[in-house]
Amino acid sequence: MSRESESPRRGAASLRARARPPRVFLGLVEIAGYYTALERGLREIGIRATAVDLDEHRFRYGAGTHRPPIMARPAIAARRRLATRRNSVVARMLSRGARLILMAWALWRFDVFVLASGESFFRSRDLPLLKRLGKRIVVVFHGSDLRPPYMDGPTMGGDSSLSIRGCAERAAIQKARIREIERHADWIVSHPPLSHFLETPYVRFLALGVPVLDLPPAPPPPPAGRVPVRILHSPSDPEAKGTRWIREAVERITAEGVPLEYVEVIGRPHADVLEELTRADLVIDQLYSDTPMATFAAEAASFGRPVIVGSCDWEEIARVVPVPEAAPVRTCAPAEVADAIRELATDAAARRALGARARTFAVDRCAPRRVAERFMAVIDGQIPEDWFADPVDVRHRCGACLPATRVRTVIAELVASHGRPALQLEDKPELAARLVDWAGEASSVAGPGTSGPGSPGPGPADSARR
């Protein structure tokens, strides 16, 4: 059963009913290679798809095989120029003009617009025009683009975090923008633990899968008993991924006499990460995740490598991620990462078994063609009922890329300074009340990073699911 006929704001006619397959535009930013891989998968199943990244991703996903279309290159060049001339009126005018040309070309050429993070040609102001012209709009959210800022590591973690006032302002702006996107999008794709600000049912992100750009042929497992055990960690943001605590855990286990070779890949091209994956025995993704398998973990799984993923709230993640979509990874609470490393580093058979299960999962859930086939069900409006989630059911409290204690502290300070409405959850009063009550426990626990990567006295939200 699909939900298309039940939703009054969705297009009534299936795009498959047209004389030709739909032409799909993907953009306008790249998120961890997702859109480059999805473009490849769509083309493999006979769909004309074009991915455009105006930001020219620093990790160079698809470098050497993916080139932007000619009509996008002026907009890319203008954006690059604007990045170095923020106060230049001429640079701003050139950027807007180039975007206008790109939009006109895209409107003429494409039927469907898949927008990363809701990034359209003119900051969502053009979405009503796309709808009036009969275009189908699918918006995919990935993390910080939707997650409330008060539980988002890139926003409230580290030295560059916002003030509490800035956090309140960001939350209000973000909520208003998301509400506007919901008004015009045909479908929203999101992950339940970051969907607090949504108000309408959405398609679950993991129901579609995480496309891996370069799914390799079945690779041989690392040699059994190889010493030292080679551990790979490749954080896009070391502060947000808990890299400091991962390093300390590796040092502690090495001091115990366990032979480890720890490799970090930071800020290097995507091709370098893939090369290191071929040499790794064990992969550590991150400590503060809200998903069992983000892109780096999916890439490791595609190589048959076992992965350790930390989270402060595995209980809630297990509630919202159906078993077939739950990647076979070694889960742990942030404070237990050393135990997880020790367990797998000293058991070659366990590493092989977990890596083999991860590879099987990746072939089914991460192959670009498979993800594209599921994505076409969304584009076409023929969506299985069990792919949907309702934002009313959101219960996740810990966010991502932050220790739970830090999230509690930020929420408590935000509510104390600006009141409960600053959470932007007045459409979900029960969730807002739960967050406020949970944050009230902040005074009884230590602050972030005072004794380790997680709360010194973990409660239910900090427990790990093995």
Candidates 237, 47, 171, 166; CA nearest to 425 is 171
What pLDDT is attached to residue 15? 55
Higher confidence at residue 381 or residue 454? Answer: 381
**Number of residues in the chain:** 466
Average pLDDT for 5-27: 65
The reply to whether omega before 28 is within 30° of 0 (cis) is yes
The chain-wide mean pLDDT, for the chain, equals 89
With cut-offs at 50, 70 and 90, classify the pLDDT of residue 8: very low
pLDDT above 90: residue 91: no
What pLDDT is attached to residue 81? 73
Ranges of each domain in the chain: 4-212+371-389
What pLDDT is attached to residue 79? 74
pLDDT above 50: residue 101: yes
Burial 110-144 (b: 16+ CB within 10 A, else e): bbbbbbbbbbbbeebebbeebbeeebbbbbbbbbb
What pLDDT is attached to residue 14? 54
Taking domain 4-212+371-389, whether its CATH number is 3.40.50 is answered by yes
CA pseudo-torsion sign 444, 448, 453, 454? positive
What pLDDT is attached to residue 444? 47
Tell me the DSSP string of 350-415: HHHHHHHHHHHHHHHHT-HHHHHHHHHHHHTT--BGGGEE-GGG----S-BSS-HHHHHHHHHHHH
What pLDDT is attached to residue 66? 62
pLDDT above 80: residue 177: yes
Higher confidence at residue 416 or residue 442? Answer: 416
Q: Are 31 and 117 in contact (CB under 8 A)?
A: yes
Average pLDDT for 430-452: 72
CA distance 298 to 294: 6
Q: Write out pLDDT tens, residues 17-60.
A: 556 899 999 999 999 899 999 999 999 999 999 999 998 655 55
% of the chain surpassing 90 pLDDT: 75
Task: Count CA atoms within 13 Å of residue 396 on its CB side.
Answer: 31
CA distance 410 to 144: 16
What pLDDT is attached to residue 18? 56
52: left (phi over 0), alpha (psi -120 to 50) or beta: beta
As separate numbers, helices (DSSP H) first and strands (DSSP E) second, the chain gives 17, 12
With cut-offs at 50, 70 and 90, classify the pLDDT of residue 203: very high
Burial of 437 (0-12, 13-18, 19+ CB in 10 A): exposed
What pLDDT is attached to residue 4? 53
Instruction: Find the helix or strand (DSSP H, E) in which 43 lies.
Output: helix 34-44
What pLDDT is attached to residue 463? 34
Least confident window among 45-49, 136-140, 452-456: 452-456
pLDDT above 70: residue 225: yes
The reply to whether omega before 334 is within 30° of 0 (cis) is no
What pLDDT is attached to residue 58? 56
CA distance 247 to 461: 24
Cα→Cα distances 319→291, 437, 458, Å: 12, 21, 19
pLDDT above 50: residue 288: yes
Q: Are 93 and 85 in contact (CB under 8 A)?
A: no
Q: Write out pLDDT tens, residues 237-277.
A: 999 999 999 999 999 999 999 999 999 999 998 889 999 99
Higher confidence at residue 66 or residue 174? Answer: 174
Q: Are 144 and 152 in contact (CB under 8 A)?
A: yes
pLDDT above 80: residue 324: yes
Least confident window among 67-71, 154-158, 435-439: 67-71
Q: Which residues contact 49 (CB under 8 A, 6 or more apart)?
A: 23, 24, 25, 26, 38, 39, 42, 43
For the chain, the farthest-separated pair of C-alpha atoms sits apart, in whole angstroms, at 67
Using the structure block, give the residue that is written with the tokens 């129901």.
207
% of the chain surpassing 70 pLDDT: 88
Which token pair is 271? 């091709």
CB 257: neighbour CB atoms within 10 A? 6
pLDDT above 90: residue 443: no
Q: Are 51 and 39 in contact (CB under 8 A)?
A: yes
Find the angle CA(327)-CA(333)-CA(335) to the nearest 5 degrees: 145
